[in-house]
Structure 1
Amino acid sequence: MRQKQFEFDECSMLCGAVKSLNENLFKEIFAFQETMKAKRLKEREENQRIISELCGSVKEIAIDVQDSRKLQNIDINKLRARLKNIQERIQSLRTHNELSMKKLKDEELHLKAEVDKFSNAMENYEKPEEIRITPVPSLKSQFDSDMRCEEIVKFENYLTNNGGHFGGWDEEDHLVFVQIRQKYRQKLLFVKAVQNRFPRLTEDSVLKHEKWYAQYLKLREKQRSAIRKWRAEKEQERSKKRFSAVKPTARTAEDDLVERLERKQKLEEWKRRKMEEKKLNEEERQRIRQWKAQKEYERKQLQDLKRAAVEVYKKEKMYKQSAHLMLQELKELKEREEKAAQANMLLKSFRQQDETYIERRRLYTSQKLKNKENEANKWRLIGRRVSTSVERDPDRLLQPTLAWKDRLMSKSAEPISKPILHLRNMPHL
């Protein structure tokens, strides 16, 4: 309620002139303001509702994913569809807000152009026709006609023809220009620093203003030298007149009093001039401090806006990364489940193959044993059929056989003589 009253008072203060002219127009403006305010509140509530719904959906998905029991029974396709729906809603909300901001900025530029056009028209309307404003005479013109030397006239004409003491620039911009010029001695660095501070200025305009300022300093120094010279001449003339009027032999107390009063008057004038210079310097420093404070405030505001934009970007990036990680974890879980199911199937198949192999080995072993038994029975039957009766004679085993005796007899009957081979002719194995 207080906020509404405050806005009403602010609108009343801004539209006071319109209210004094036309009450109906003021009411129409205030009604339009209330309508736009209600529209803004409605859009803000709608955006907050959509954002809260999106946050709730993301939190539900995060809870389901963090719970291992729910994660085993989760449907990947449904989860992917939910995440895709959330991403599409975020993108549509962002697009809608960007379009709204662009539309508002365009309207703001249009209104600003209309206000500037109206302000220029008002200035042209208020400006009287065929009336030329004579330039303000310089302080130096108040001196006597004998002081109007060539240097002072040149300086005044230079100021009149070139935009005054600031060369046609704004006072604050010119003061910043002077500070940068005092800081940088090299012309290239100086021009870059001025362009960084005032991006709208070109290199030619900066060099032109620097050339103007150099000529300005030169003429100002000549003017000051001429003024100092004029003052010295005037002081010398006054001293000559004073000493010529005073007789050297008759110096009275009245003359001393006059001299003291003149000195006191000069001292007072000197003090007053110093106080005025000090006041002007203090005002100049105060104006520079205010300008710096304003620029610092604007810089901080810009930094706050950039920081807020970075925070929004970080949050969006974090949401996207969390959704991507969630989908990746679900995909890995699905792959593990598929691999586990495939492993179970392969394990059953391997067990069946092992059982089949064991059964084959058992059959093979039993068949081999049967074959051995059959072979033994066969030889047993053969042994029963064939009967041998040989007497046991252990001495017969140590005697040579008849075949061996025949062989020995054949070797002794036919002796074979072979030549002796040399070692080099020996056959190799």
Structure 2
Amino acid sequence: MAALATAVAAAAAGQQQNDSCSSTAGAGGPFRDCKMKAEQAKKVEFIRTAQKLKTQLANIEKDKNGHLYNKKSDFRVEYSILEELEHSMTVSRKTEKAKIQQQLSKIQNTVKRLQQQLKDVKPTPEFVHKLKEMMEEVENAINAFKEEQRQIYEQLLKEEKTAINELSGFERKVELWALGSSITEKVLKLASARISVDKTLENHLPEEVVEFERFLQRTGGRQGGWDDYDHQNFLKVWTKHKGRLSYMDEALEYLCGRTKEDIEQHDKWYQEFLILHERKKESIMKWKEKQQQEKEGKLKEKEKSEKTLKEQWLQREEAQKQKAEKERKRQQAAIEAWKKQKAIAFAMEQASQRKLEEEREKKQQKERQRQCHMKLLLERYTLQKKEKEELEKLEKEKRKEAEKEERKKIAAEEITKFQKRDLHKLELRILQKQAKEVEKQEKEKRLAKLREKVEVHVTRDRSRLYRPTKGWEERTKECAPTASEPLLNLPHRAIPSWRQGHLL
């Protein structure tokens, strides 16, 4: 973030300086104007990329804060340490940013003072000396700022390198953990197969070789029980420092997860490994020398027997050699004659090639001149084209503005039309509503007249409620028994005709 702010500020200062230089330089031709435009375009592009990086950094920080400051996370205890580290780093970054802005503002002020001095130029040696001092001051400030930033970047690059090494180490360990189960099974199988073979070889091998193999079996192989990645990093640092104690700090940086005691133990193991390995080499060399001496003895015996055969063969060979020598001399004379002819032909061919190369160079020179001429023409054409495009752009903008105004007028007219249409519809709705209300009132009047015609007026008689009805009176008359006559038949309800057959 601080580096991004410095880059943006430096670009802005450079922009102001170039603007002032262009104002003092005056009209320097179309080529200079084109160059200035290209530089300005580059600066604008740089500022755009800086802004994009700034937004990207903001998004990354937002995602990071979402994970880091989440209070519901299971790793809250570990994240609290990271929060403190984040807070301290933000504070240091802010202080660094303020410091850089202060330095840049100082440089900018000195540049502005130099520009003001350049406006009122006086042809005196004192003025020239003063300008020289100011320019040296600006140059020293810029160089000091650059050197300071370079040192900071170098330190950051070192830290980044160590962090990348640590991360790669952890990734490698995780991969090895994943592969650990399958690899250990394979190693156990191989170890069981080797034990049977090793017992047979121990009887024939030298003591140093057997001791070296036992040491490897006892201490965990050729890596001392470490994984391949850690052992390779250890070897890299150890060979770099040639086994001196100064390698310990760098080894701790490379070997994340290993303590100083682990590295010291591995160092002791490696020194013992080297001693035993050297002994093994020496014993193998001695064994080879012994074998070689035995071979030489056998060869000497063979040579004695072969020597006699060789003498006979040499006599025959000598006679054949004399014949071959005569043939060789004859062939050599023929070859020399052929070589002379070939040398003459080669010289003639080289002369023709030189001529062709000279002609080619002339053609290339002409082609270069033509290309330069075409380049100048293209530059002029591009400048004309840019001017034409700018004019067309201005005309398009004017046309767009005129079209916008036309659209606005048409829209205003359409709005008035729609408003009139809506008012007409409202009036029609109000008239329809009024007509419906009039019809409703007339309907209610007709219903009221009908109700008056049909309505019956009855007077209330409260005694009717507790008087017996006519039916009850008739029933009591028929059913009431006389006192003189005996009760022969008990009264009961009549049976309907559809049930009479079932009862029988």
User: What TM-score, normalized to structure 2?
Assistant: 0.25
Q: Which has the higher contact order (CA 8 A, sep 6+)?
A: 1
User: What TM-score, normalized to structure 1?
Assistant: 0.29
